[in-house]
Structures are given as C-alpha cells and as structure tokens.
C-alpha cells in the first residue's frame, strides 16, 4: 500500500495520497499513514457508517470530488490532524473488485498546481484503484490459505497430543514459543523463526501411531515397549515426508530428528552434532524442557528451575551447546511464561478459543509478505 500510494502521489502530482481498506468485521475503514514524520506506522480508523468522505465513498461506491475540503461538512479532519496537513482539494474513488464490491477507498488531496481535480484525474485514479484491488484480493486469498494452513497444523497436532497430555493447548503453545525465541536468539531470521514456531506443534505427530497400552502406560516402559515408543519419530517422518510446503518440511525434520542427541546417543539414527538438522536441535531443548515441567502419566511435574538446570547439565550431551546458550539467554522470559501457565491452570481459566499461533495476521503485513501460492515455484 505504501508503494501504491507513493506511485499515485507521483503520477497525479498531489500533496498526499491515502489508501483506506474496509475492515468488514470491525465495520471500519483503516489506513496506515505512509507520509508524515514519525507517523509511518500510525493506523487511522474511521467508522464505516460515519460522516466522512471516505466512508461515504465506501458506502455508495461513488467518487467524490471536492474543491474546498474545510468548507465541506462531510469532510473529516481526523487524518489532517494526525498528519499535520491542510487538505484543500480532494478526490476520493472507490476501490472495487471484479464483481463491484467495495474493498476500500483511494483518496488524493491537493494537486500541486492547486487546480481542482478533473475527470482525467478521476479516470486515472479509478484505473489504479482497479489494478490495486486485484492485488489486494489476491493477498487476502493468500492470507486465508495461510491461516487455514496454520489452523490445520494446529488441530492435527492436538489430535496427536491429546491422548497423553492433560493440557495440550498450553503445552503446544509453550513449546512453540520456546522454539521461536530460541531460533531468534540463535540469530535466525524472523521468517525462519516463524516457520520453526509454526511447525513445532507437529513434532510428536507420530504418536498417533502408538497404541494406548504404550502411550498411556502409567509406569515405566519396559525396554521392548520403549523400542516401540521410539518409532513415533519414524512414523512422524513418514507422515510428513515429501511435503511441499516449507512449514511441513520443517515439521518433517523436527518430527524425525527431535530425539536425536548431540552426543550421538539419541534415536532413531544416532546422528551426531551438526548432522542433526538445526530445527530438530532447537525443538529438542523446547520439548524436553516442557516435558519436564508438566506431569505425565509416568512422571510428576518438575519445578521450572529444576528443568532449567537439567537442560544446562545436558549441554553438549543431549543438546547442541549453542542452543543451550541461547536457552540461557531467553530463560527469564520462559520462566515468566511457565509461571503464568501454572497460574492459569490453578485458576482453571479456560484457554481462549483461538490459540495464539493461528491468529490471523494483520492485512498490511500479509500484503508485504504474501506467501507463494501452493504448487508454484
Ligand atoms: P515426552 O513425555 O513428551 O517426553 C519427551 C522427552 O522429555 C523424553 O524423551 C525425555 O528426553 C524427556 N523427559 C521427559 N520426562 C523426563 C524425566 O522424568 N526425566 C528425564 N531425564 N527426562 C525426561 P524420551 O525419553 O525419548 O521419551 C519419549 C516419549 O516416550 C515421551 O515423550 C513419553 O511419551 C514416552 N515415555 C518415555 N518414558 C516413559 C515411561 O517411563 N512411561 C511412559 N508411559 N511413557 C514414557
Ligand atoms: C474524510 O474522509 O473525510 C477525510 C479523510 C482524509 O482526509 O484522509
Ligand atoms: C537443515 O536446515 O537441514 C540443517 C541446518 C543446520 O543444521 O544448520
Ligand atoms: Fe517425541
């Protein structure tokens, strides 16, 4: 939107261009301020059924051309006040999709030659609005697909975990937060860290293949039973093998290798050191820390600091030393997170309906980072 607004400002040679998008849920029109010192990320919201030029255009689908804004009672000063701008002439056109539905409003103000806007300006602005509308719709479709994908992943993960976990949601959420913070602390990009965060709930997906008699056994597993238990990594690997999406590719590595150990004593393959994919070395720490902090049918919960000390003692043994160092750095936040989780459990507060990891991402960010469509390269 910033880029479109900049181009329009240049092409029409105007003092300001603002793009408003319709937020159907909140019944508002919103815009990120692209111009103005220090206002780059300020969000402006106007009620959809309010008295402003923008909302009028959005409601009627008709353009409005005004030669003296401050004398027009329909004009809302809201934006001028934040941007320290004096709107004189103004042209607002609807942003419509192919089927004529209004998605938002394009607004330009103050031609640099101080003349009123004419039919030619309106034609150009409408044309640009049409072009923008299709990109916005495509971006929205991607967002829907992305949210649907995250939801599916999360629900699949719940399916795998709910048999042996009392508090699946908090558990999955905590593991994904730890993995995310570890990834960032290790210097991975935000994008990589998000993939790791979104993939992490699936690391134990292979447990769906295990019989209750083993998974839910209240006591210690026999060596034979533990051999079977180990196969959840291989099953997880098979379930996620050859996945097309990046997030499932990460999930594949995590599920197959999350019980490998840095010293080579893990399973299923006994890989050592950096032979183990980094994603798996990250989830390994998050998984064990969380497993220790909660109670299972076979064990009681450890205190947070006990679990932390265990992670430190396994540096260079079970875990990649650099991941343990990262864990040390993020531990203050993790400690707070688990104190909060414990407090929530005590109060028996219902966990909110929508887990954090599937919250829809703000439209503006999605437009900038729209993922590629599935099956395209
Ligand atoms: P999980 O319960 O999610 O535990 C994941 C990992 O956390 C374990 O991997 C282990 O590395 C660590 N962990 C969990 N609890 C403890 C503990 O009390 N002490 C120590 N030192 N580490 C702990 P691991 O051992 O490969 O086990 C994989 C999965 O096998 C476990 O996942 C759990 O589902 C199952 N499992 C392991 N041991 C037993 C057991 O004695 N009885 C039963 N019923 N299940 C077990
Ligand atoms: C209006 O809609 O009335 C004015 C909005 C703006 O100046 O951006
Ligand atoms: C991987 O992404 O497969 C491995 C990356 C690493 O180990 O550094
Ligand atoms: Fe596991």
**246 has catalytic annotation:** no
In contact, 106 and 125? CB cutoff 8 Å: yes
* pLDDT of the residue at 170: 84
In contact, 140 and 27? CB cutoff 8 Å: no
CATH 3.30.450.40 spans which residues of the chain?
Answer: 2-140
- The residue contributing the CA closest to ligand 3 atom 8 is 278
* pLDDT of the residue at 163: 79
Q: Which residues form ligand 3's pocket by a CB distance below 6 Å? A: 253, 274, 277-278
* pLDDT of the residue at 59: 95
* pLDDT of the residue at 92: 97
Annotated active-site residue in 207, 261, 315, 366: 207
64 lines ligand 2 (CB under 6 A): no
Mutate to test the pocket of ligand 3, among 243, 258, 278 (most ligand atoms within 8 A of CB): 278
Distance CA 225, CA 213 (A): 9
Strand 64-66 relative to strand 43-47, pairing: unpaired
* pLDDT of the residue at 189: 97
288 lines ligand 1 (CB under 6 A): yes
* pLDDT of the residue at 162: 79
In contact, 280 and 254? CB cutoff 8 Å: yes
Ligand with minimal distance to 165 CA: 1
Assign 300 to helix, strand or coil.
coil
291 lines ligand 1 (CB under 6 A): yes
Q: Which fold has domain 2-140?
A: Beta-Lactamase (3.30.450)
Compute the distance from residue 70 Cα to the ligand 2 centre, in Å: 11
* pLDDT of the residue at 159: 84
CATH 1.10.3210.10 spans which residues of the chain?
Answer: 162-347
The angle at the Cα of 122, spanning 109 to 2, to the nearest 5 degrees, equals 50
Residuewise pLDDT in 10s, the chain (377 residues): 778 888 889 999 999 998 999 998 999 999 877 666 666 777 889 999 988 999 999 999 999 999 999 999 989 888 888 888 899 999 999 999 888 899 999 999 999 999 999 999 999 999 989 888 888 888 888 888 889 989 999 888 888 887 777 677 888 999 999 999 999 999 999 999 999 999 999 999 999 999 999 988 888 999 999 999 999 999 999 999 999 999 999 999 999 999 999 999 999 999 999 999 999 999 999 999 999 999 888 889 999 999 999 999 999 999 999 999 999 999 999 999 999 888 777 765 444 444 444 433 333 333 333 444 444 33
Token pair listed for 21 = 């998008």
* pLDDT of the residue at 51: 86
300 lines ligand 1 (CB under 6 A): no
* Buried/exposed 176-190: b ≥16 CB within 10 Å, e otherwise: bbbbbbbbbbbebee
Q: In what order do the strands lie in the sheet with 43-47?
A: 43-47, 28-32, 14-23, 102-111, 90-96, 64-66
Distance CA 232, CA 131 (A): 50
Question: Which residues have a Cβ under 8 Å from the Cβ of 233 and sit 6 or more positions away?
Answer: 206, 255, 256, 257, 258, 259, 267, 268
Q: Which fold has domain 162-347?
A: Hypothetical protein af1432 (1.10.3210)
For residue 65, the cross-strand partners are 91
Compute the distance from residue 328 Cα to the ligand 1 centre, in Å: 22
Ligand with minimal distance to 188 CA: 3
């Amino acid at each position: 939107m910033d880029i479109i607004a900049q181009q329009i400002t240049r092409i029409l040679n105007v003092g300001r261009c603002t793009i408003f998008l319709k937020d159907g849920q909140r019944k508002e029109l919103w815009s990120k301020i692209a111009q103005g010192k220090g206002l780059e990320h300020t969000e402006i919201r106007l009620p959809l059924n309010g008295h402003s030029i923008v909302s009028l255009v959005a409601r009627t689908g008709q353009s409005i051309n005004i030669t003296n804004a401050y004398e027009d009672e329909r004009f809302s000063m809201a934006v001028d006040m934040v941007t320290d701008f004096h709107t004189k002439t103004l042209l607002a056109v609807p942003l419509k999709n192919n089927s004529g539905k209004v998605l938002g409003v394009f607004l330009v103000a103050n031609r640099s030659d101080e003349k009123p806007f004419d039919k030619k300006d309106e034609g150009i602005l409408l044309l640009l609005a049409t072009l923008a509308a299709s990109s916005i719709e495509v971006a929205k479709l991607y967002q829907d697909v992305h949210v649907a994908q995250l939801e599916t992943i999360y629900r699949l993960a719940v399916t795998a975990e709910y048999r042996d976990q009392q508090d699946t949601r908090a558990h999955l959420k905590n593991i994904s937060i730890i993995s995310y913070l570890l990834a960032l602390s290790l210097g991975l990009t935000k994008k990589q860290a998000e993939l790791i965060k979104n993939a992490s709930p699936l690391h134990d997906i292979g447990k769906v293949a295990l019989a209750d008699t083993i998974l839910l056994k209240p006591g210690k597993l026999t060596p034979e039973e533990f051999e079977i238990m180990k196969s959840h990594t291989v099953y997880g690997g098979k379930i996620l093998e050859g996945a097309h999406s990046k997030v499932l590719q990460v999930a594949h590595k995590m599920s197959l290798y999350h019980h490998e150990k840095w010293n080579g004593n893990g399973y299923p393959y006994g890989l050592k050191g950096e032979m183990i994919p980094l994603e798996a070395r990250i989830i390994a720490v998050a998984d064990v820390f969380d497993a220790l902090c909660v109670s299972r049918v076979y064990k009681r919960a450890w205190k947070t600091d006990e679990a932390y000390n265990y992670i430190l003692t396994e540096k260079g043994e079970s875990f990649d030393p650099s991941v343990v160092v990262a864990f040390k750095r993020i531990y203050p936040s993790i400690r707070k997170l688990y104190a909060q989780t414990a407090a929530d459990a005590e109060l028996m507060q219902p966990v909110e309906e929508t887990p954090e990891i599937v919250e829809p991402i703000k439209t503006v960010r999605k437009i900038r980072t729209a993922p590629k469509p599935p099956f395209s390269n």
